Amino acid sequence: MSELRKDPITGRWVIITSDRPLRPADLAAERQQPPADLSTCPFEPGNERYTPPEITALRDFGTRANEPGWWVRVVPNRSPALKVEGQIDKRAEGMYDIMNGIGAHEIVIETPNHAEELAVMPESHIRDVLWTWHDRILDLARDGRFRFVMVFKNKGARAGAMLAHPHSQIMALPVVPFHVQEELAGALEYYRYRDRCVFCDLIAQELADRRRIIEDSDHFVTVVPFAQRFPFETWILPKSHESDYGRLSSTDAGELSRVLKRTLQRLSQALDDPPYNLVLHTAPVNLDPVPSYHWHFEIFPRIAHTGGFERGTGFYINPTIPEETAQYLRDIKL
């Protein structure tokens, strides 16, 4: 029999279908092949001239900006969705609200190696990527026009990646996105009612139950959400309460790199290197603190499509059972 499961944070309902549950073998992954000639890839070392001038980079001592010698490089998006220059200029057009497309849109080139995705990088290199995200969030938050800084990674064409070379993106927005507002509102409602963080309670219950736990380190945990929206959706959360990823410590970044790598390795082995989206949920910037919130990563393998029912109702139908998903991922030998 199917179940309706309610997300305790947003109040969103998800339909879990158990009559014909899909197994990992039923979920065909889509691989993205690198271009035959890497000289055409703008993210390759030696091709720095094909990107806008770099914002920052981790590079070998003595090497110069916009030349080879880097191992993580941040550049502006050549075709940005939002631009830093200008004023927000909020205005009305009758009943409609308008503002200029002010923000920032950056590309984090995660490695000079075209084939080295996060799941196979050394942990020390993943830590450098995580710390680059951290530093860019702090820097962009200095601009008082911005209200939210989003970090996301699209791996594979089906997940929205235009280039195969490993990279992630950072966008600073002048407004808090609707889905983030929804999550913030749900967390605040829970906090006002119980005087506790809903994410902290979620972590405590999952650690006690353990059926949906995938990774469990000293300071981080990977779980399959109870109301999992998509097949093999996973979350990584810090065990200690913190709303702002910008407050991540250097030591914790090292531990987080190991948890992230192991999580991605499990998903890769389970689903034959699937395309996926990875999104960082963190507190808004330049607004009042939000003690009710708790930063975390959400990972969505792109192995199923949403249809008219999901788009028309806001319900999600997930043909995999969260407890079985977690068990399958735990059983993978790394």
Tell me the catalytic residues: 167
Calculate the alpha carbon distances from 94 to 97, 156, 235, 313 in Å: 8, 41, 42, 29
Cβ atoms of 109 and 72 within 8 Å: the answer is: yes
Measured at the alpha carbon of residue 51, what is the angle toward residues 47 and 57, in degrees to the nearest 5?
Answer: 85
Torsion 11-17-23-28 (CA) sign: negative
Q: Pick from 329, 331, 278: which is nearest to 302 by CA?
A: 278
Terminus-to-terminus CA distance in the chain, angstroms? 34
**Residue 240 one-letter amino acid:** S
Helix then strand then coil, % of the chain, to nearest 5? 30, 25, 50
What's the rounded Cα separation, in Å, for the pair 245 and 49? 32
Measured at the alpha carbon of residue 212, what is the angle toward residues 206 and 213, in degrees to the nearest 5?
Answer: 75
Q: Pick from 266, 237, 265, 316: which is nearest to 2 by CA?
A: 316
**Ramachandran quadrant class, 2 (left: phi over 0; alpha: psi -120 to 50; beta: rest):** beta
Instruction: Read off the tokens for 113.
Output: 């190696």
Cβ atoms of 224 and 214 within 8 Å: the answer is: yes
What's the rounded Cα separation, in Å, for the pair 180 and 157? 25
Instruction: Read off the tokens for 227.
Output: 């109301």
Q: What are phi and psi of 122, to 5 degrees?
A: -60, 145
